Amino acid sequence: MREHDAMREHLSLAAAGALDAAEEQRLARHLRECSECAKELEGWQFLAGELRRLPTPQAPAALVERVRAQLAWQLAAEAERRWNARMMIFLVMFAWTVTLASWPVVRLLTSGLAGWLDPSFGHTWIGLAGYTALAWLTGGVAAATLALRRRRERRMA
């Protein structure tokens, strides 16, 4: 009886054509001996055939277009977020690089070669603090510029 119950569970799959070859052969052997399962399989096959004749449901064109537009907007927004993040990283790195690269040049121009050899570092740290503040200010301006751009694009959309 246990084999019979297992085969009954496979009848709907057989009608849908979802069994592999070994399971089909096993079911065919069972169907030769069990008329009850053979009759039930006929019912499942009839039902599967009728289901195949039903028309495939189609989404309304307006719905499809709205979904496409929303997906395009979401993809564009995600691309913009990635671009903004990359641009912000670039601008911060650029500001720090400019600060660190220009600091020795400015020091050399303002105090000459003797300033490099001077052991007093009082003016050096003030200059470094000024350049650091300049780098931070540059990063802040970049962030404000990106925020304004984003706000303007949202209003246009």
The verdict on 95 and 132 lying in the same domain is: yes
More confident residue, 90 or 100: 90
The verdict on 44 and 69 lying in the same domain is: no
Residue 97's alpha-carbon distances to 7, 107, 150, in angstroms, are 74, 16, 26
Nearest-angstrom CA–CA distance, 96 and 136: 8
The verdict on 74 and 49 lying in the same domain is: no
The verdict on 45 and 121 lying in the same domain is: no
The verdict on 117 and 76 lying in the same domain is: yes
Position 1 confidence tier, pLDDT thresholds 50, 70, 90: low
Tokens of 137: 């200010």
The verdict on 70 and 136 lying in the same domain is: yes
Q: How many residues are recorded in the chain?
A: 157
Position 15 confidence tier, pLDDT thresholds 50, 70, 90: confident
User: What is residue 72's predicted lDDT score, i.e. its pLDDT?
Assistant: 94
- Give me the domain span that covers residue 9: 2-53
The verdict on 122 and 49 lying in the same domain is: no
Q: Per-residue b/e over 62-90, b at no fewer than 16 CB within 10 Å? A: eeeeeeeeeeeeeeeeeeeeeeeeeeeee
The verdict on 49 and 66 lying in the same domain is: no
How many of the other CB atoms lie within 10 Å of CB of 9? 8
The verdict on 39 and 85 lying in the same domain is: no
The verdict on 40 and 77 lying in the same domain is: no
User: What is residue 65's predicted lDDT score, i.e. its pLDDT?
Assistant: 95
The verdict on 100 and 132 lying in the same domain is: yes
Please count the structural domains in the chain.
2
* pTM, 2 dp: 0.42
The verdict on 67 and 48 lying in the same domain is: no
Structure confidence by residue, pLDDT tens digits, 28-64: 888 888 888 889 888 888 888 888 888 888 889 999 9
What three-state secondary structure class fits 12? Answer: helix
Q: How many CA atoms lie within 13 A of 116 on its CB side?
A: 9
Residue 40 contacts residue 11 (beta carbons within 8 Å): yes
Structure confidence by residue, pLDDT tens digits, 76-91: 988 888 888 888 788 7
Domain boundary among 53, 75, 96: 53
